[in-house]
Structures are given as C-alpha cells and as structure tokens.
Amino acid sequence: MPAKDNDWKSRLGMVYSTNPDFAFDSSEEEEADTPPKNRQKLRVGIERKNRGGKVVTVVKGFVGAEADLKELGRMLKTKCGVGGAVKDGEIIIQGEWKQRIVELLKSDGYTDTK
C-alpha cells in the first residue's frame, strides 16, 4: 500500500475496526457539474414568513456546484447593494428585489427565470 493512501491525518474520525477485510475509504462525493446558464430553471420569489417580519427575495432552483451558487449569490448581493446569504441551495437577498434580480439574471445569461 502506498504511503499516500496510509495517511493517518485523513483517518482522524476513524476509531477502530475489528473486520480483517476492512479497507478505509476516504473518497468524498463529487459535486454535479453546473449546466449552462440558459438551461437553469431559476425561480425568484418574495418571502415574509419565518423571517421576523422582514421581507427577503429568494432565488431557488439552481442546479450545480456549491461554489457556482455562492458566486451567483455574491454577484446578486453586490449588484443590489444589500446583504444576504447562500444556504440550503437557495440565495436569500435582503429586501424586495424581485424585478431587479430577474433583470440581472437575464442580462447574465439565465433565460428561464420566473
């Protein structure tokens, strides 16, 4: 077994195995490739519930890598000049920015937005 596969630091969460045929597998799930912008089906909506009475604009339906979703969220927050978050596969923008976000998405190449 090569020394690279036997790196003890990658197995810090492993406690002990009594199985003599056990093989430690440290492979992680690979993220899906992000489809082209014109094939994304994004939905933009306004939400007020469970937000303490605050209004937020939510972008849902993004398919692809988490890094691409964060980059899109960063771009939208910057263009609107407000704060927000990217979590659970959604982009949350503070305030009521639905029309502005739809325009930004269309100008960036996302064609199927509602």
Which two three-digit tokens encode residue 34? Answer: 């992000």
Range of the domain at 38: 33-113
To the nearest 10 degrees (0 to 180), the angle between helices 66-80 and 98-107 is 120
Count up the domains in the chain and report the number.
1
pLDDT tens track for 47-90: 998 888 899 999 999 988 899 999 999 999 999 999 999 998 99
Q: What's this model's pTM, rounded to 2 decimal places?
A: 0.69
Residue 48 lies in a domain: yes
Sign of the torsion formed by the C-alpha atoms of 67, 69, 70 and 74: positive
Q: Specify if 5 maps to a domain.
A: no
Assess if residue 74 is contained within a domain: yes
> What's the farthest any 2 CA atoms get from each other in the chain?
61
Residue 16 lies in a domain: no
**Domain-embedded: residue 58:** yes
pLDDT at 42: 92
Residue 1: the pLDDT is 45
Residue 33, CA atoms < 13 Å, CB-side half-sphere: 3
In a domain, 9, yes or no: no
Q: What pLDDT sits at residue 25?
A: 66
Contact 31, 71 (CB under 8 A): no
- The CATH number assigned to the domain holding 62 equals 3.30.780.10
7 inside domain: no
Span 98-108, pLDDT tens digits: 999 999 999 99
